[in-house]
Amino acid sequence: MNQNMEQKNEGGETAEQKSGYYINRPSFGSKEPSKLKQHLTKEKSLFIVIVVVMMIYFAMLRLDEISKLLWLVVHTIKPIIYGLAIAYLLNPIMKFVEQHLSAFLKKTFPNLEKTHQISRSVGILCAVMFLIAVIVALCNMMIPELYRSIRDMAVTVPGQLNDALDLITRTLAGDSTLEQVFTRTLMEVTDLLQNWMKTDMLTQANVVMTNLTEGVINVVSELFNAVIGLIVSIYVLFSKETFSMQTKKIIYALFRPSQANMILHLTIKSNEIFGGFIIGKIIDSAIIGVLCFVCLSILEMPYTLLVSVIVGVTNVIPFFGPYIGAIPSAILIMLSDPKMGVYFIIFILILQQLDGNIIGPKILGNSTGLSAFWVVFSILLGGGLFGFVGMILGVPTFAVIYYIVRMLINHRLEEKALPMDTNCYDVFSYVDADGTYVHSNENELKKDEEKKHADQSAK
C-alpha cells in the first residue's frame, strides 16, 4: 500500500493533492453536538462556566505575576524563538538549492541512495552562508560609514549651527524688536544650558554610563541568543518534515476531523500570507536600498551608503517605512548641504512612487488581501502594542484575522442562501422577512418597463 502511495505521489499529483485537501477551505463539519456536549447536563455546564469565570477572575488579580512569568519563559526560550524565525527566513533559500541539486543528483547519479540527505545538507549550508555573508557585508559597509558620518557631523555641525545663527542675526538686524526677542531667547537658552551642565549633567552622565553598560550587556546577550538560534535553526531545517508530521498527528488526536482540517487549512493560509509578505518585503526593500545607493552615488550626495541602508531597512515597514527612513536621512544630508537635502527629498518621493506603483505590486502582489485603510490600521495597532516588530508583523497578522472573519461571515451567508459578494449589498438591495435576497434596483427597472408597456398598450 505504501509503495502504491509513493508511486502515486511520484506520478502526476499536483501540489494541492500532496498538501492535503485542506489546502482549500474545508467544510465546517456537521452541526451535531460533540460527545462531551451530549453528556453534559445544564447543571454541569453551569458549574463549568462558574469555575471558568472564577479562574479568569483570580488570573486578573494575579495579572502582574502571570505577565512576569510569561516574560521569563519568553526570555528563557528566546534562542528557540530566534531559531524558528531564522529557519523560517532561510527555508526558501534551502528549498531552492535542495530542489535543483536533488534533480541534478537524481539525473547524474540515479543509484545514489542519500540524495535527499546530501541535497538538504548542501541547501542548509548555502542558506547559512548566505545569511552570514549578508550580515558581514552590512557590518563592513555600515560600521565604517557610521563612524565616518558621526566624525564628520561632530566636526561640521557646530560650525553649521554657528553659521545658521549668524545668518538669522544678520536677517533680523533691520528689525530691532525681533532682534531683541531673538537675543533674549538665545541668552535664556544659553543660561539654561549652562545651569544644566553645572547641576544635572554629572547625574545624567552617570545615568547614561549605567544605561550604556546595560545596553552593551544586552547587546552581547542578544548576540549570544542569535548564535544559539542559528544553531537551532539548522536542526529545525533538517527535521522540519518530522516536526510537521508530529504537529499534524497531535492536531488530529485532539480535535474532530472537521476541526483539525480547519486548523490545518488556517495554518497553511497563514504560512502563505506571512511567507509571501515577509519574503517579498525583504526582496523589495533590498531592491530599494540598491537603487537608492546607485542613484545617490550618481548624484554625489553625502552619507550615500548610510542613507541607503537606512532607507532600505525602514522600507520593510509598510506604508510609514519610507517616511521613517527619509526624514532623518534628509535632515542628515541638509546639515551637510541644504541643496542636496532638497534634491534627496525629491528623489525619495520619486523612488517611493516607483516602489508603490511598480516594484512593490510586482513582488508582493495582493499577498495580504487588505485595503489601504486596514493596512494603516494594522500598522498603528501593531506598532502601538509591540513597537517596531509589531509594525512589521502587524499587517500579515491582521490579514490572517481578516481572512478568518471573512471565512466565517461567508459561511453564515451560505447557510442563509445569501450572496457573498460585497457589491450585492448596495443601497438598492435588501433581504425580506422570508430571508430572500432582493435587489430593489432591478425591481424598479422591471416596474418601469411594465408601466411603459401598459402605457403603450393603453395608447
Residue among 367, 372, 375, 366 at smallest CA distance from 395: 375
- The larger pLDDT score, comparing residue 271 to residue 63, is at 271
- Helix and strand tally (H, E) in the chain? 17, 2
DSSP code string of 289-308:
HHHHHHHHHHHT-TTHHHHH
* Interval 419-426 mean pLDDT: 83
Q: Give the whole-angstrom CA distance, residue 208 versus residue 196.
A: 15
How high is the mean pLDDT of the chain?
A: 78
Nearest to 272 by CA among 4, 2, 23: 23
163, three cell numbers: 553659521
Task: Specify whether the CB–CB gap between 288 and 355 falls below 8 A.
Answer: yes
**pLDDT tens by residue, 109-133:** 888 778 888 899 999 999 999 999 9
Helix extents (H) in 300-371: 304-314, 321-336, 338-354, 360-364
The residues, any chain, with a CB within 8 Å of residue 42's CB and separated by 6 or more, are: none
Residue 4 pLDDT > 70, yes or no? Answer: no
The distance between the two most distant Cα atoms of the chain, rounded to a whole number of Å, is 102
- Of the two residues 409 and 2, the one the predictor is more confident about is 409
How far is the C-alpha of 397 from the C-alpha of 115, rounded, in Å?
37
Report the amino acid identity of residue 357: N
DSSP code of 109?
Answer: -
Residue 232 has pLDDT above 90, yes or no: yes
DSSP codes, 424-441? GSSTTEEE-TTS-EEEHH
Q: How confident is the model at residue 13 (pLDDT cuts 50, 70, 90)?
A: very low
Q: What is the 8-class DSSP label of residue 77?
A: T
User: According to the model, what pLDDT value does residue 8 have?
Assistant: 43
The residues pairing with 430 across neighbouring beta strands, listed in sequence order, are 438
Residue 95 CB contacts under 8 Å (≥ 6 apart), including other chains: 123
Q: pLDDT, tens digit, for every residue of 152-207?
A: 666 666 666 666 666 666 666 655 666 666 667 766 766 676 666 556 655 665 66
Gap between the Cα atoms of 362 and 280, Å rounded: 10
DSSP line for 123-136: HHHHHHHHHHHHHH
Say what percent of the chain tops pLDDT 90. 12
pLDDT of 11 > 50? The answer is: no
Beta strands at 437-439 and 429-431: parallel, antiparallel or unpaired:
antiparallel
Closest by CA to 85, choosing from 347, 341, 389, is 389
pTM of the model: 0.70
Q: Helix (H, G, I), strand (E, B), or coil: what is residue 255?
A: coil
User: What average pLDDT does the segment 92-109 reach?
Assistant: 89
Looking at the predicted structure, is the pLDDT value of residue 145 above 80? no
| C-alpha to C-alpha distance for 231 and 237, rounded to whole angstroms | 10
Residue of 368, 364, 365 lying closest to 378 (CA atoms): 368
Q: What's 371's DSSP letter?
A: -
Instruction: Please report, for the chain, the start and end positions of each structural domain, with discontinuous segments joined by +.
Output: 70-238
Q: Is the pLDDT of residue 235 over 90?
A: yes
The stretch 5-20 carries a mean pLDDT of 44
d(CA 261, CA 241): 18
In sign, the C-alpha dihedral spanning 52, 55, 57, 63 is: negative
3-state helix, strand, coil in the chain (%, to 5): 85, 0, 15
Res 429: pLDDT? 81
Q: State how far Cα 119 lies from the chain centre.
A: 30
Q: Is the dihedral of CA 325, 330, 336, 341 positive or negative?
A: positive
Alpha carbon 301 to chain centroid, angstroms: 31
Distances (CA, A) of 339 to 118, 122, 185, 299, 334: 57, 51, 29, 12, 7
